[in-house]
Structure 1
Amino acid sequence: MAFGLPAAAVWRFLWELSDTFTVSTVEAGENGDQAASVQSVRTYGRLASYNAQASRAILYMSRHGTTHSLKVNTTLVEPFAAHNGSFYLFLGELEKHEVCAAELSLFTSVCTNV
């Protein structure tokens, strides 16, 4: 996976991610038959849950009565002190898999409690 930085001072709210997702690279999966679309993003939200054993977190934010969520892969930032309900900033690669195009996940390389 090739990590790049999003443009300076560009933030994506959770509700914008699925609407503004554009393909920057396409990479083949390990078995070569599943490709993933990847985009560098900087986003933030409240931490809903964190599972250290699975290196997974759920980030959420509410807007106009609708709750938007995002799955986060925290493998590269382990261990971090997770506090459910606190705001976190994440910088990483947003992935949309061809198998389930409706589901996005963030493979984070930077995580900070804000």
Structure 2
Amino acid sequence: MKKKFFALCAAMVFACGAAFAAPAADAEKLSVICSNFAEYDFVRQITGDLANVKMLLRPGMESHSFDPTVKDILDLQNCGLFVYVGGDSDAWVDKVLASFDKGKGPAS
């Protein structure tokens, strides 16, 4: 009886441990979008493999004159967190975030 009880307890411990040991799939990771490289690099270093981090500005683009594409706006609406500084370099952000329905869109 003791052997069966010990085997059952050991199986439960291993089963619980296996549930926590599995790495997060890409679909389960937090989706983070950053407006420029400074925020992107900062968030990427902090989150490591725990989040999918994307930068909106492509290499060579000027942040002061950035105008998001439709795809950028859809990505923003569907991401979990949007990191931006604001001010003159991110003047477009308030307008885009205001266009989202209440309760929809990222935490920012």
Q: Which TM-score tier does this pair reach, normalised by the shorter chain?
A: under 0.3
Higher helix share: 2
Higher strand share: 1
TM-score, normalised via structure 1 length: 0.24
Which entry has the higher C-alpha Rg, 1 or 2? 2
TM-score, normalised via structure 2 length: 0.25
